[in-house]
A and B are shown apart, each in its own frame.
Chain A
């Protein structure tokens, strides 16, 4: 559940940023919605791939675990980027501290 929350929370600014970028370039609505829908469909597609890989036999387990390790490495990079780049000139930010610790709390007590 915290993983899902984190993914959703980090998908929202992604989509907003993409839509803002496309709107800034005055893209057509078709292009805008196509891009947004495509990006929005990617994560469920990955979920389906992982699920179907997990449902199949033992041969695919190694691939699945490798993909999971890949995903977790990218999680680490994304999270550290978010946390580190958001600190403005290394000033102490109570909101940031509170948010990050709340996230850690949720991740610890709500399980996977």
Chain B
């Protein structure tokens, strides 16, 4: 072994024989230098470092401080290479497709090194990869004393990741995103429940529910009961059940309910309702009122009793819920006697 390894990695290192090398020779390191990483294949890094009899040229792996674990992680291949008589600063060439070691270190994630499988480890891609990682290693955590630089890079990564979160997270911008109607007719909105997750509401709905309930309990109910009529509580109860009945007519649209359509996600063209070879409507979800509403044709909209029931119930609902605003100018002493 020897010269092949160093020329592949691209580091001019002077091979020095170490006692570890003789220990590892039975693992096939001498005969197959490209498989020399198999020696500490599946051990975790800490175990490997503690198990190794030699810790390099001292400066790299024996530092103390908060970066110790990470540095050990990073330089495990160096220790391996040291066992093989290589320069410990020569960087380990990981298999293609593995997670980028430096990035994982920068994100503070624990890293479990997997064995280099040997096959294709010395291809051109791996050489380039190894060179790039080498540069990263030297720039990044190669100098162990540059803890501040590593912290800066961690901060930078966290900034980037938070920006990515804001960009791609479905929840973060829910309030400001316009609802989208998909071309197949399914509704993909954020303010009303998202249909791909049935029953999930967004922040606006939660806030709305909390606001309405708290306002009613804290302010409106005491105010109404303080008027002193006998039948106010009866009207309160009847309003509750009136809304309960209206909800049956409007299929829960006044809460923004459309989530029963989530089960109707069949994209087959034959299941489209306006397809010329239309089959009779399927049975799934037929008991849901929203399905009974959505299954009808648009030409029948004005002739259908259900659509009229929907519109009338929505009108009554809207009329009723506008009424409590009339006392915006009532003095506070009258409001809370």
Contact = CB atoms under 8 A, between A and B. Distances in A.
A66 B318 CA distance: 16
Contacts of A25: 294, 296-298, 301
Interface stretch (B96-104, B145-153, B253-261): B253-261
A45 B224 contact: no
Given A17-B258, A72-B324, A43 B318 contact: yes
Nearest to A52: B326
Contact of A99 (B206, B229, B237, B243): B206
Interface string A43-82: 1111111110110000001101111111111111111111
Contact of B235 (A70, A85, A88): A70
B154 to A, nearest CB: 26
B247 interface: yes
B18 interface: no
Given A42-B322, A79-B213, A85 B220 contact: no
B211 A103 contact: yes
Interface residues on A, range: 35 or more
Given A3-B324, A71-B321, A107 B298 contact: no
Interface string A9-27: 1111110111011111111
A45 B219 contact: no
Interface string B238-262: 1111111011000011111110010
Given A18-B253, A20-B181, A44-B322, A75 B206 contact: no
A31 B147 CA distance: 66
B62 interface: no
A2 B211 contact: yes
Nearest to B297: A25
A107 B215 contact: yes
A38 interface: yes
26 contacts: A2-B211, A10-B256, A13-B205, A14-B255, A17-B192, A17-B257, A31-B302, A38-B311, A42-B315, A49-B319, A51-B326, A61-B227, A64-B323, A67-B320, A68-B220, A69-B233, A70-B235, A71-B323, A75-B213, A76-B236, A76-B239, A77-B241, A88-B199, A99-B206, A100-B210, A100-B213
Query: Which 10 pairs from chain A and chain B are nearest by CB?
Result: A103-B210, A73-B239, A13-B256, A99-B206, A46-B322, A42-B318, A50-B326, A69-B235, A6-B211, A107-B214
Given A83-B213, A104-B210, 18 more contacts: A3-B215, A10-B255, A13-B256, A16-B191, A43-B321, A45-B318, A45-B319, A50-B322, A50-B323, A50-B324, A64-B323, A73-B236, A75-B212, A77-B239, A102-B210, A103-B207, A103-B212, A106-B211
Interface of B: 171, 179, 181, 185-187, 189, 191-193, 197, 199-221, 223-224, 227, 229, 231-244, 246-247, 252-258, 261, 274, 290, 293-294, 296-298, 301-302, 311, 314-315, 317-327, 335
